[in-house]
Structures are given as C-alpha cells and as structure tokens.
A and B are shown apart, each in its own frame.
Chain A
Amino acid sequence: MERSACIPEIATELTRASHENITFLIQKVSDLSGKAVILTNSHNQLISSALKDPYHTIGSIMAIQQLEQHKDPSFSLYELITDSYVYWGWGTVVAYDNNILGYLYLVDSEIPIMEVQTQTLMSLASLLIASKLQMKLEIRQEKLKFKEPFLFDLLYGNLKQKDEILEHAQIWNWDFSLQQAVLVFALRDFNHYATDKKLINKLLYIVERTVVERQWEPITMKRGNQVSLILTAKKEDQMSLKDSIRTIAEIILKEMDRQETERFFSCGIGKTYSDPRDLFRSFQEAKVALEIGELLDIQVPYFEELGLERILYKHDTQDLKEYYETILGKMINYDSIHHTDFTETLEAYVTNQFDMVSTSQALFLHKNTLRYRLKKIEEILGYKLDDINNRLNVSAAFKIKKMRKI
C-alpha cells in the first residue's frame, strides 16, 4: 500500500521534468532512483547521462554486454564499459510505435537489485523519453527536407552568421569548422532534354559515390547542367585538401569519360576557405575556373592558379586583338605568305617553357634546326626571345589565341 501510494508522486515529478529537455529528464530519473542513468541511441551511442559524481563524465561507450534477462522480459541486466568506468545495471528499450529509438540504463558500480519501484520508474521514464526522442527525430526529418535550400543559401552567400551555418550543418553531420572548398562539375553542350537531365543525375551519383567511398560526406547540389560538391578538410587527414580535391576530381572525370564517351564533362575548383561564410566565393571561383579551364583545355583548373588567364579572359576583345597583332602579327603574316610554320614552332617553344631540349624533342627537330628557326623568328618579329618581357608578351599572346578571343 505504501509503495503504490508513492507512484503518482514519481509520475507527476517525471512528467513535469519531461517538459524540460532530455538532460533534465535523465537527471530527474537519477535523483528519483538514486542511481546513475545512461541514455543511448539505437546504436548504443551515448545521448545523455546523469552520474552521481558531478566531476565524472562519460565520453563514449566502448561496449555493452547483456548479462541476463529479468523475469519481466522488457528489462535485462547489462555490463557497460565506458571510456572511464565499468558499470552494471538494468536496461530497457526506449521505443515509439515499435521503433527502437534508444536504450535507458540505470547503473551502479556494483550489480543493483531490481525493485518494483525502479521497474515502474524505468517504464514510465522510457515512455516519456521515447516521445521526446520521437519529436526530435521528426524535427530532424523535417530539417532534412531543407538540405537543398540550405545549400543554395550557403553557396549564394545568403547566410551571414557563422554560428548559424555551423549549427545548421550539423543536422547532416557536416563539419564546416576547418577548411572547405567547392568543386563544380558540368556537362558541356547541355540541353534541357530528358536524356541530358538523366546524365546530370548520373554525374551526381558518381560524384556522391566517389566521395562516400573515400569517407567524405557527400555535400552536393545539382543545378542546371552542374553538380557542385563541397569538400571539407578532415582533422586526421595527412593529405592537404587541395591534393585530395585533385585526386577526387580526376577520378570523377575519368569515370564519367569512361561511361559517357560521347559527351564531355569538365570541372572547376574554387579556393579553400576556413570560414563557411566564404563558401559562396569558392563556388563562384569554381565556376570561373570551369569556364576558363574548358577554353584552355586544363583538366582540373584551380581558380588560384589562373592568374593571367583570368585577366585576359575578362579583358576587352578588341584590345586583346590589337595586342596579339602587335606581338605576333608580323610572324603570322610571314607564315601565310611563305607557307612556313614559324608560329607553330614558337608556340611549342612557349608551351615547353622556352626550353630548347624539350621543344626540339616535342617537335622532333634537331636542336640546331630549332636554334636556326628561333633565330629566324627573332628576325621576323624584330625582338629577342631571351628577354623576359618579350617572353611574357609572347606567352600572353598565345594564351589569347587559345582562349578563342581571336
């Protein structure tokens, strides 16, 4: 009689506590039972704990072993090995609508006796915790729906608060606290037909598969003919983010190339930023790199490595034409009148970093023949090719040509 009289009291106290957060509720269970309380999720990962010693904390649970079942099958005796202590105690499942959401353990440093009152307390507490966890789960699922809009806002600079981004990203376990960069992949000559849309889905699948295989979170956004990917630095990774990015980009492009031999896929890479509020810059940079990379046939173009190219690309076409004419015009004229190919020779010389040996190898020419030709080229052009300024001019002129600006 005495025992049953105190049940309503427990019930009221627990229900009242359940209006607060889970930690508070767990603490209440601990106060009422005089035992330490541990709550885990369905994978036995720690959600919350209330220990008797306030200086003591549990970092993680290493192992949980079921020792024996109680005569009421909803309870069992367990041994819990944590990163700091070993506990023994009774556990029960926390379920909502037959879905297991977690486990609740009442533990001590020695095997506790199971009393009726503890049993009632645990049953009631697990019900209340279940409804709280379910609510959390629903909110989480609701938030998952917001992944696309979140990524859009992130990549278009609509989120101005760093904390807000970090917190929001945690819903999907994305860690933007270290460093990150954006990669953009695109299908060239895209049209809005269903077949091309399917190809973009395939690209998205390959991108996600490639990063997941390498233990990366697939943070991706599909838009038009593009798939964007955010790669975040990992604490334990030895390789620099930039190098990992190159490897991943190459693998993806190679795979798409293998699967879709008829079509052409390209990519561009933005700079690495440590503040997630700057991801939109990386995104825009990646798109710029992609466009210039396509023109210059650079397979994996990094925005930060495109210096002169970017300036030339943005510059007024007429001006560039005049510049090109001034630097190479005489030689192009000469070639067309005399049917010679000095322009080609000079271009190879530039591509091979003005190195005689590699140029002669590339052109299958004897070094002396090349030397003679370069001399002739200097005569036609009217300037010396060993002058650093002239070299810069010639390189720029050939870049202009390559960028189809001419």
Chain B
Amino acid sequence: MGFCFNADDCIGCSACEIACKNENQTPSGINWRTVKKVSPELFLSVSCNHCDNPECFRVCPHRAFTKRRDGIVEINQNLCDGCQLCVAACPYHAPKFDPESHKVSKCQMCYPRQDTGHLPACVEACTTNALKLVNLGEFNNPNIVRSLPGFPDISITSPSIVFFGQKTRKRYFLSQGRLKT
C-alpha cells in the first residue's frame, strides 16, 4: 500500500494535516503529516512514506521499527530511547521527536483504521481527492512520476508514494465582463 498524491488537485487546505492530528491525538507541535507550499503554485502533503527500503529502520539501535506485510512501517515507542538517529536518517523528516516524552513517533498509516476497513484519516479528509491510497504493486498509470520538484531525494529509501505532476494550466481571465482565454 502507498500514497498517491495529485499535485494538480491539492489546494493546500491542510485538511489532511488536521485530520491526522485529530485522529492520532499527537502532542502540540508534532504533526505526522504536513502540508508545505514548495512554490507559488505547488503544495506537497508529506508524511512517512512507508519506504520499501526504510533507512529509519536500519539505523535504529533498538530495532524499534518494523515493516508489516502490507508495507506499513511502524515504530514501537516502547523500544525507542529517543536517540533520534532515525530522525537524521529519514530524508522526509517523518519521524518526529517529542522532547517531553523523549520518544519518536510517526505516521503509522492509520493501521488501526485500515485493519477495520477504513481509509487513513488524511485520505478520507482530503477535500479534493488529491491524496489517495493505492496498491502500488498493481497501480500502473503512465502519467505517474516517482518524485516532484521540492520532494526530497527518493534514492535509497524508495518511498511508497507516487505523484501526478502539475499540468500546465490554461488560465482564464475576466476582462470587461467577458470570459477570455
């Protein structure tokens, strides 16, 4: 399973970010999903990408990470001692350190919801359907790309996310009461 993000459809409303925070009740200042404006017309919504080759995972001295058979990369907070090596290793800044609990947490792709047949909170909340959940093993669309400008380097980790880039848009201007192209 992985995310599919359509840059054209994202309007930067942050509904996904809020839904994630609400669902997972993360402490203040800790957002597992964030929406960023990377250029005047491009927003990116980024969380943990549940990478195929997770680097977070390799560096953790306490083996706190696991990758479930459906691809979800989980962190077991009980094993974490807050050394933050994973924070440095992840290119997408997905693991978030909480100075108060001195532990790291991150997006778990809402597996409790998924296990009961629901979509992740962020995907469900997306107002324009820009963020979707897809089965990357089967999903094949000639227009998808592996990365977008502004998205961190995908080499090595091979994140479970694909994108639809921005099409050059036709612009319409209202001029003297008439619609002109």
Contacts and interface: CB of A to CB of B under 8 A. Distances in A.
A287 B157 CA distance: 9
Given A156-B67, A157-B65, A287 B140 contact: no
Contact of B156 (A156, A280, A281, A314): A314
B28 interface: no
Given A152-B69, A156-B67, A277-B63, A291 B55 contact: no
B63 A313 contact: no
Contacts of A287: 53, 156
Interface residues of B, number: 17
Given A157-B57, A157-B63, A314-B153, 20 more contacts: A152-B69, A156-B66, A158-B67, A158-B68, A160-B63, A192-B140, A280-B58, A280-B63, A281-B58, A284-B53, A284-B57, A284-B58, A287-B53, A287-B156, A288-B55, A288-B58, A291-B156, A313-B155, A314-B91, A317-B153
Interface string B48-69: 0000111101100001011111
A285 B156 contact: no
A327 to B, nearest CB: 22
B91 to A, nearest CB: 8
Interface of A: 149, 152-153, 156-158, 160, 192, 224, 277-278, 280-281, 284-285, 287-288, 291, 313-314, 317
Main secondary structure of the interface of B (DSSP, over half): loop
Interface of B: 52-55, 57-58, 63, 65-69, 91, 140, 153, 155-156
A291 B155 contact: yes
A23 to B, nearest CB: 36
Contact of A288 (B63, B67, B91, B156): B156
B40 to A, nearest CB: 21
Nearest to A275: B63
A152 B153 CA distance: 26
Identify the interface centre among B54, B55, B140, B155: most chain A CB within 10 Å of its CB.
B155
Contacts of A149: 69
A165 B57 CA distance: 19
12 contacts: A149-B69, A152-B69, A153-B69, A156-B66, A158-B66, A192-B140, A224-B52, A277-B63, A288-B55, A288-B156, A291-B155, A291-B156
Contacts of B66: 156-158
Contacts of A288: 53, 55, 58, 156
B57 A280 contact: yes
B83 to A, nearest CB: 15
A314 B91 CA distance: 9
